[in-house]
């Protein structure tokens, strides 16, 4: 009887010891898994932290370049910001993608690659600029474009917010300069509201009865004014760069008070053809509004 009690007691002790050992083993294994998981997360975080802004931007440039070269519109859409300064025009993401699709439809032979190094300049904590040479190949040949992109960090992801190149910038600048210097169209019609820009002044004309000095506007480049058949006096006149102005007393007073002679002015009105002895240029303008530009 005593022996049975002793054996039973030993059995109970061994059972408790075995359960405790198993529990400790399970707890240790669980802790080991948690430690490994924490280390993996820590390693991933450290890897992200170790990647510099420069390296991140260079990756983005290469992603953009591959997508732009291969007409990968899905990838382009993913890396674009909602608004993009696209060759000096503010456009939406949808417009950017639409314009790229049109471009590839018109230019089936196209390829581009980054030539040389990519220079990254951090503009702020949220923006960085990448500069590089883009080598473009079309059916016309190969040409290098000094290009630049700007990326913005949006909710932890870099998004493209500006794209251009120095050659396009120069062409846009020249077109704008030309438009400022010569804002007039080449062809107009009589009796239609128009606006032209030129230099205000007085010109002397000799007549049978002596001389006259009407107020005129001199245009940088000649224009053509086309007859529309509604007026018997109208005739199509080409190569016109001197337009006599029919000004009101108030308009003339304004121009004189501002010493507008020799200055660029903008006039709005309607053209009419000369038909009396007081008309000294083939085409004249009845002025409804005048503005001094400089």
Residues 83, 151: one domain?
Answer: yes
175 within a domain of the structure (yes/no): no
Q: Give 111's strand partners.
A: 137
Domain ranges, residue 223: 182-292
State the CATH number of the domain containing residue 149: 3.10.450.50
More confident residue, 294 or 211: 211
14 within a domain of the structure (yes/no): no
Residues 84, 106: one domain?
Answer: yes
Q: Residue 136 pLDDT more than 70?
A: yes
Residues 69, 118: one domain?
Answer: yes
Last residue of a domain, one of 143, 170, 197: 170
pTM of the model: 0.57
279 within a domain of the structure (yes/no): yes
Residues 125, 91: one domain?
Answer: yes
Question: Containing H/E element for 127?
Answer: strand 127-138
44 within a domain of the structure (yes/no): no
Task: Report the 10 Å Cβ neighbour count for 147.
Answer: 23
More confident residue, 208 or 86: 86
State the CATH number of the domain containing residue 190: 2.40.50
Q: Residue 132 pLDDT more than 90?
A: yes
Residues 106, 214: one domain?
Answer: no
By CB neighbour count within 10 A (0-12 exposed, 13-18 middle, 19+ buried), where does 259 fall? exposed
Counting the structural domains of the chain, the total is: 2
Residues 189, 166: one domain?
Answer: no
More confident residue, 120 or 45: 120
Q: Residue 67 pLDDT more than 80?
A: yes
33-47, 79-93, 97-111, 133-147: lowest mean pLDDT where? 33-47
21 within a domain of the structure (yes/no): no
Q: Residue 250 pLDDT more than 70?
A: yes
In eight-state DSSP terms, residue 204 is: -
Residues 157, 200: one domain?
Answer: no
Residues 214, 140: one domain?
Answer: no
22 within a domain of the structure (yes/no): no
Task: Report the 10 Å Cβ neighbour count for 255.
Answer: 19
Last residue of a domain, one of 125, 150, 170: 170
Residues 156, 60: one domain?
Answer: yes
Q: How far apart are CA 51 and CA 263, in angstroms?
A: 59
Q: How confident is the model at residue 230 (pLDDT cuts 50, 70, 90)?
A: confident
Residues 244, 270: one domain?
Answer: yes
CA atoms within 13 A on the CB side of 34: 6
pLDDT in tens, 7-63: 666 666 666 555 555 555 555 556 666 655 565 555 545 555 588 999 999 999 999
Structure confidence at residue 23 (pLDDT): 52
Q: How far apart are CA 238 and CA 167, in angstroms?
A: 36
29 within a domain of the structure (yes/no): no
Pair of tokens at residue 74: 């899905």
Residues 164, 191: one domain?
Answer: no
Q: How far apart are CA 103 and CA 112, in angstroms?
A: 14
Structure confidence at residue 180 (pLDDT): 73
pLDDT in tens, 144-195: 999 999 999 999 999 999 999 999 999 999 888 877 777 899 999 999 999 9
16 within a domain of the structure (yes/no): no
Percent of the chain with pLDDT over 70: 83
Q: How confident is the model at residue 229 (pLDDT cuts 50, 70, 90)?
A: confident
Last residue of a domain, one of 170, 202, 224: 170
Residues 200, 150: one domain?
Answer: no
């Amino acid at each position: 009887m005593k022996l049975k009690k002793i054996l039973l007691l030993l059995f109970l002790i061994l059972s408790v010891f075995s359960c405790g050992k198993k529990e400790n083993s399970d707890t240790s294994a669980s802790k080991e898994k948690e430690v490994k998981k924490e280390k993996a997360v820590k390693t991933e975080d450290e890897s992200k932290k170790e990647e510099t802004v420069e390296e991140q931007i260079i990756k983005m440039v290469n992603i953009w370049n591959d997508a732009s070269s291969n007409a990968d519109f899905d990838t382009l859409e993913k890396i674009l910001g909602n608004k993009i300064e696209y060759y000096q025009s503010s456009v939406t993401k949808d417009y950017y993608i639409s314009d790229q699709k049109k471009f590839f439809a018109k230019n089936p032979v196209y390829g581009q690659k980054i030539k040389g190094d990519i220079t990254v300049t951090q503009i702020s904590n949220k923006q960085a600029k990448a500069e590089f040479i883009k080598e473009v190949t079309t059916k016309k040949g190969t040409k290098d474009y000094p290009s630049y992109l700007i990326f913005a960090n949006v909710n932890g992801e870099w998004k493209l917010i500006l794209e251009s190149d120095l050659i396009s910038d120069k062409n846009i600048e020249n077109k704008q300069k030309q438009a400022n210097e010569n804002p007039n169209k080449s062809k107009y019609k009589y009796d239609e509201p128009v606006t032209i820009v030129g230099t205000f002044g007085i010109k002397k004309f000799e007549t049978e009865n002596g001389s006259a000095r009407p107020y005129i506007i001199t245009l940088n480049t000649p224009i053509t004014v086309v007859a529309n058949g509604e007026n018997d006096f109208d005739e199509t006149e080409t190569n016109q760069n001197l337009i006599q102005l029919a000004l009101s007393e108030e308009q003339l007073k304004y121009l004189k008070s501002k010493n507008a002679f020799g200055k660029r002015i903008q006039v709005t009105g309607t053209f009419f053809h000369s038909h009396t002895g007081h008309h000294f240029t083939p085409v004249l303008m009845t002025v409804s509004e005048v503005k001094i530009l400089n």
